[in-house]
């Protein structure tokens, strides 16, 4: 990197902001779960990293990048990240393959700039994490939920919304809960809505209350794109309801999937706004939460049927588990719980509720038993671990972030048992993880076709076929298939990438289309000559004429 460019960058930064091209600093941002450095044509590199401490610096850096773009010796591109915990999709690595990329780290922009306790609107900067918002709400006794995800407490709320992520709290679709965005297009022009610009009041509150603004809706252009940088975002938070219960419908027979799907759809349609999103997990996925890998964590092979049956018997893991939540007043929760119970009585299944007497008594019993006894008696150890996962899963439904879902990423990590479960960080810990996340119509025959498809393809590459369905609405589900592998094993890495590629290519022929892509897929899957991506490229040419921002991110041109 030229000393002249380094000097230009340092001159526009605030005193507390940092700029570094030191290899040890750059290496920290190149630790991904995806194994891209195992392939010569997929290796990324960084020229430097800039860590900002004030949102006003975003425009200064964009302006500098545009000014330098015409000089080959000074030209550089920017790749902004929030917390860089986009595990399985790229982590903190850049999408592009150029050698002049500077990572723009926005993780220290952690201000909660506005909160309206009456309306439940919160305005945050890019680095605000699930845990930071949770702490803020708790410290000030605000009875609102954090829009959590399974990625855990250290992940950025803003980045998840811009990736169109979702959760299982009442506001399932996180970008749908975004009411206002401010930021900068890549050419340096500030963005704020037309409503904000017209509002002559001092507080300018109305912009934060109305998602769609006035005129063409431009804020969607900041999502899954490389057209601009968001400096602040307003979210509409779901209020904590007076009462709550989660439900777990367990079906022992795998063939009951087709019968369960229309019942799930009925619940979502009839109790919209009362029942949150519903998850449907298969037996293997459930075992990954509670059991240890019977093959050993460093074995590159799938579980045998005998092992699955043995673990399922020991842990009483059903073939399918339906997980959902009911929010409302005590009377509403009581009535809806009974009606959901009646709906699923049509199936041979076991129905468990988090507010049932058996769960309450089990928790109280484990709480009063001494730790040495629980650790000494295997059955008590298993019960305690299951209750812990159960309770943490319930907390997520209540908008309380935790790391319970991160255990999955360590299924094939040879040192899995050596990590503190409260300090898990898949990228830093060397986990191997990719995601296949296709959309599927909420029809029983298509969901069965998908299940058989996953169970046929994944084992060919020694990848465990863990299956989860999450309802985005009553008519659409997203399935998150984790491709978990040993990152230290070159064959496992190669198999994982080949597995994902086959799933995507064969899945498209069946109508299973991903809603989200990792940084490698964005390079080879998208057709730059299609009408859609040609239109995107026209927008790119206008808003980023010098191509200085996130080259290749959701833009095959």
For residues 556 and 515, give the distance between their C-alpha atoms in angstroms, rounded to a whole number.
16
The fold of 112-236 is 3.30.465
For residue 468, the surrounding DSSP H or E stretch is strand 468-473
Superfamily the domain 243-514 falls into? FAD-linked oxidases, C-terminal domain (3.40.462.10)
pLDDT at 210 over 90: yes
DSSP assignment of 195-240, as one string? HHHH--SSS--HHHH-TT-SSS--GGGGSSSSSEEEEEEEEEPPBP
Give the pLDDT band (50/70/90) at residue 404. very high
Give the pLDDT band (50/70/90) at residue 215. very high
422, two tokens: 């409260």
Alpha helices in 80-156 (DSSP H): 130-139
471, two tokens: 């309802």
156, two tokens: 């950025």
Give the pLDDT band (50/70/90) at residue 380. confident
Give the pLDDT band (50/70/90) at residue 168. confident
Residues in contact with 259: Cβ distance below 8 Å, sequence separation at least 6, in sequence order: 346, 347, 444
| The predicted structure's pLDDT at residue 381 | 87
Mean pLDDT value of segment 414-428? 93
Convert the pLDDT of each residue in 286-338 to its tens digit: 999 989 999 999 899 999 999 999 999 999 999 999 999 999 999 999 999 99
As a whole number of Å, the end-to-end CA separation of the chain is 26
Convert the pLDDT of each residue in 236-255 to its tens digit: 999 999 999 999 999 999 99
For residues 322 and 342, give the distance between their C-alpha atoms in angstroms, rounded to a whole number.
15
- The mean pLDDT value of the chain amounts to 95
Convert the pLDDT of each residue in 98-138 to its tens digit: 999 999 999 999 999 999 999 999 999 999 999 999 999 99
Beta pairing partners, 514: 438
CA-nearest of 328, 287, 276, 340 to 310 is 287
* Ranges for all domains in the chain classified under CATH 3.30.43.10: 3-105
Residues in contact with 439: Cβ distance below 8 Å, sequence separation at least 6, in sequence order: 472, 476, 477, 478, 512, 513, 514, 515
Length of the chain, in residues? 557
| The predicted structure's pLDDT at residue 389 | 84
Cβ pair 549, 119 in contact under 8 A: no
CA-nearest of 110, 114, 120, 111 to 204 is 114
pLDDT at 375 over 90: no
Mean pLDDT value of segment 3-27? 94
Q: What is the CA radius of gyration of the chain?
A: 24
Q: Cα separations (Å) of 96 from 42, 100, 276, 551, 557?
A: 9, 10, 37, 5, 11
CATH code of the domain occupying 3-105 = 3.30.43.10
| The predicted structure's pLDDT at residue 358 | 84
pLDDT at 149 over 90: yes
The angle, 0 to 180 degrees and rounded to 10, between the axes of the packed helices 490-509 and 444-457 is: 150
Convert the pLDDT of each residue in 72-106 to its tens digit: 999 999 999 999 999 999 999 999 999 999 999 99
Residues in contact with 170: Cβ distance below 8 Å, sequence separation at least 6, in sequence order: 145, 238, 273, 276, 327
76, two tokens: 């550089």
* Ranges for all domains in the chain classified under CATH 3.40.462.10: 243-514
Cβ pair 46, 98 in contact under 8 A: no
The angle, 0 to 180 degrees and rounded to 10, between the axes of the packed helices 357-368 and 378-397 is: 120
* Ranges for all domains in the chain classified under CATH 3.30.465.10: 112-236
pLDDT at 229 over 90: yes
pLDDT at 201 over 90: yes
């Amino acid at each position: 990197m030229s000393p002249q460019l380094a000097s230009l960058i340092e001159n526009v930064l605030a005193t507390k902001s940092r700029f570094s091209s030191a290899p040890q600093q750059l290496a920290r941002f190149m630790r991904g779960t995806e194994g891209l450095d195992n392939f010569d044509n997929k290796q990324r590199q960084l020229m430097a990293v800039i860590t900002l401490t004030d949102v006003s610096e975003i425009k200064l850096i964009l302006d500098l990048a545009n000014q330098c773009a015409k000089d080959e010796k000074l030209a550089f591109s920017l790749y902004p990240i929030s917390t860089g915990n986009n595990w399985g999709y790229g982590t903190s690595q850049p999408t592009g393959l150029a050698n002049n990329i500077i990572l723009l780290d926005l993780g220290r922009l952690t201000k909660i700039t506005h909160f309206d306790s009456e309306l439940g609107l919160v305005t945050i900067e890019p680095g605000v994490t699930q845990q930071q918002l949770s702490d803020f709400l708790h410290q000030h006794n605000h009875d609102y939920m954090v829009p959590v995800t399974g990625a855990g407490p250290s992940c950025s709320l803003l980045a998840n919304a811009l990736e169109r992520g979702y959760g299982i709290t009442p506001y399932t679709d996180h970008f749908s809960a975004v009411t206002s965005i401010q930021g900068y297009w890549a050419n340096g022009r500030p963005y704020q809505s037309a409503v904000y610009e017209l509002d002559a009041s001092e507080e300018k509150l109305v912009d934060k209350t109305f998602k769609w603004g006035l005129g063409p809706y431009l804020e969607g252009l900041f999502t899954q794109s490389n057209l601009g940088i968001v400096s602040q975002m307003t979210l509409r938070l779901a209020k904590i309801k007076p009462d709550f219960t989660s439900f777990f419908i367990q079906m022992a027979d795998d063939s009951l999937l087709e019968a369960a799907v229309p019942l799930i759809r009925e619940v979502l349609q009839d109790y919209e706004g009362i029942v949150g999103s519903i998850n449907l997990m298969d037996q293997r996925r459930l075992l990954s939460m509670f059991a240890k890998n019977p093959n050993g964590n460093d074995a590159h092979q799938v579980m045998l049927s005998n092992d699955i049956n043995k673990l399922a018997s020991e842990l009483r893991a059903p073939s399918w588990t339906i997980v959902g939540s009911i929010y409302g007043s005590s009377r509403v929760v009581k009535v809806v719980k009974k009606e959901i119970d009646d709906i699923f009585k049509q199936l041979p299944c076991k129905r468990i509720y988090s507010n049932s007497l058996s769960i309450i008594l089990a928790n109280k019993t484990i709480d009063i038993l001494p730790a040495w006894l629980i650790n000494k008696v295997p059955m008590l150890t298993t019960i305690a671990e299951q209750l812990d996962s159960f309770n943490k899963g319930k907390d997520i439904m209540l908008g309380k972030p935790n790391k319970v879902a991160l255990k999955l990423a360590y299924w094939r990590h040879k040192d899995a048992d050596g990590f503190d479960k409260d300090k898990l960080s898949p990228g830093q810990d060397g986990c191997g993880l990719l995601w296949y996340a296709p959309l599927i119509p909420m029809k029983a025959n298509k969901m069965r076709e998908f299940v058989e498809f996953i169970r046929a393809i994944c084992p060919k590459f020694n990848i465990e076929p863990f299956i989860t369905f999450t309802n985005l609405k009553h008519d659409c589900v997203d399935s998150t298939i984790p491709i978990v592998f040993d990152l230290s094993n070159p064959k496992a890495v190669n198999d994982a990438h080949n597995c994902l590629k086959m799933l995507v290519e064969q899945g498209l022929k069946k109508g299973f289309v991903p809603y989200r892509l990792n940084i490698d897929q964005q390079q080879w899957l998208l057709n730059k000559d299609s009408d859609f991506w040609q239109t995107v490229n026209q927008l790119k040419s206008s808003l980023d004429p010098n191509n200085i921002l996130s080259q290749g991110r959701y833009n095959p041109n």
